[in-house]
Structure 1
Amino acid sequence: MSGFARHRRSRLIIANFTGFEADLLRSLASQLVELLRNEAAVPSDDRDPFEAMMDFSGPTTEPEDPVLARLFPTAYPDDEEAASEFRRFTEGALRDGKATAAVTIIETLEEAGLPPELTEDGLMIDVELDEPTAEIWLRSFTDVRLALASRLGVEDGDDDVWAALPDEDPRAQAHDIYEWVGYLQETLVEALTTD
């Protein structure tokens, strides 16, 4: 995989993934969707649309899961009441937006030819994104990286710690995935800003 680039003629943003890479991205996006939708903060989808739109009964406390706490930080750390009210009015919609963005990655990969079960060696997936879809992917990459960083305990300036881990250490492998998603994110930003 060479990252994202802007096609000279069509102006679409393109990338080529091996079947393994595409399946890994689908898995990461799926895990993010599951995390976002499995906690009680998400309202039921069977409500009246107007009622759902006017519902401000979202969560009022910080999520217990460290990944969710990182994805939805406290807006007013020095004012518990204001933080609670802000979270109540915003977190549900933010969760839905993040889940929808991750689903966009899954759907785009599957529309590009990624089968439900990856069984074929040598499969290549060519992805073409218009700018709005590329921006959705970019936001979701940020969420995936934050989730991985939270689970791994990645901190600024700790590159030497990760480099010292043996290759067979599962944490080193997970950190490699974190770095890879960062690379994808970086090339996507470059492609979006290229005229």
Structure 2
Amino acid sequence: MPGHFEPLPGGGAAVALDEVEISIIRSLAVQLLELIGPGPAEGAGDPLAELFAEGPSEPPADPVLKRLFPDAYRDPEQAPASPGKAEEQRAHSAEFRRYTENDLRAGKRDNALAVIRSLDELAATGGGGAVLKLSPEESKRWLGALNDLRLAIGSRLEIVDEDDTDDLYRLPDEDPRKPMVMAYLWLGGLQETLVSTLLP
């Protein structure tokens, strides 16, 4: 079980984590929360206002947030659209973003918080490391958070396609990106094994 998730009888998943691994995942999840930011009406105490709050219409400036919240009506793989079509796509994307980004942010925030809470509970059980056991619902939240963490790190590493990932394996140990690369690859392994526990 070390280093990878295994299915639990009756559903859910388990993974053995040591103190360093717990600390790394928790730290990354906290950084992700800080990047996503607080909710639009946090602290206001008005659920109705939060329900109808409109989000931003422009894409975020930060490249990581652009990766986490991409435009809905633009395919980066396709050739650039004609000026008229591009303007239409921008308008549709702005409208879509205005009504969906707050909910997307809330979901990503909830997933990161679920990771932090489960790791805090695990750390409270005693020193060393421990076996983290997740329910099927918790597994889905973890999967979402692991995906977001990998997207964030991949964006910082400027990973666009599989060839970029292959190049990372050949980085020399003295390269300052090496720790981030190791985290990216390790989280990928966790994500892949967690996916396998959720398959029927």
TM-score range, shorter chain: 0.7 to 0.9
Is the contact between residue 18 and residue 129 of structure 2 (CA under 8 Å) also seen in structure 1? yes
- Is structure 2 residue 147 aligned with structure 1 residue 147? no
Match 1:106 to one of 112, 116, 120: 116
Distance in 1 (CA, whole Å) between partners of 2:181 and 2:68 is 19
RMSD over equivalenced CA pairs, Å? 1.9
Match of 1:125 in 2: 130
What's the secondary structure of 1:112's corresponding residue?
A: helix
Match of 1:5 in 2: 6
Correspondence 1:178-189 to 2 at 5 A? 178-189=184-195
Is the contact between residue 14 and residue 132 of structure 2 (CA under 8 Å) also seen in structure 1? yes
Match of 1:48 in 2: 46
Distance 1:166 1:73, change over 3 A: same
Is the contact between residue 141 and residue 181 of structure 1 (CA under 8 Å) also seen in structure 2? yes
- Is structure 2 residue 91 aligned with structure 1 residue 81? yes
The residue type paired with residue 162 of structure 1 is: L
Q: Deviations over 1:1-51 (max 9, x none)?
A: 23100134x54411110000011000111110000016xxx4131152112
Distance in 1 (CA, whole Å) between partners of 2:57 and 2:65 is 14
Please list every run of 5 or more consecutive structure 2 residues that lacks an aligned counterpart in the other structure.
Answer: 75-85
Match 2:66 to one of 69, 74, 99: 69
Q: Deviations over 1:131-182 (max 9, x none)?
A: 1110110011110000000001123212442233211322122111100000
Distance in 2 (CA, whole Å) between partners of 1:136 and 1:20 is 22
Give the TM-score taking structure 2 as reference length: 0.85
Match of 1:25 in 2: 25
Distance in 2 (CA, whole Å) between partners of 1:161 and 1:188 is 25
Match 2:142 to one of 137, 141, 145: 137
What's the secondary structure of 1:126's corresponding residue?
A: strand
Distance 1:88 1:159, change over 3 A: closer
What's the secondary structure of 1:14's corresponding residue?
A: strand
Distance in 2 (CA, whole Å) between partners of 1:159 and 1:65 is 22
Instruction: Tell me by how many angstroms 1:94 deviates.
Output: 0.5
Q: Deviations over 1:98-126 (max 9, x none)?
A: 011001000001111258xxxx6xx1122
* Aligned length, in residue pairs: 184
Please list every run of 5 or more consecutive structure 1 residues that lacks an aligned counterpart in the other structure.
Answer: none
Give the TM-score taking structure 1 as reference length: 0.87
Among all aligned residue pairs of Structure 1 and Structure 2, give the percentage whose two residues are the same amino acid.
38
Is the contact between residue 70 and residue 146 of structure 1 (CA under 8 Å) also seen in structure 2? yes
Is the contact between residue 41 and residue 49 of structure 2 (CA under 8 Å) also seen in structure 1? no
Distance in 1 (CA, whole Å) between partners of 2:29 and 2:181 is 17
What's the secondary structure of 2:16's corresponding residue?
A: strand
Distance in 1 (CA, whole Å) between partners of 2:69 and 2:12 is 32
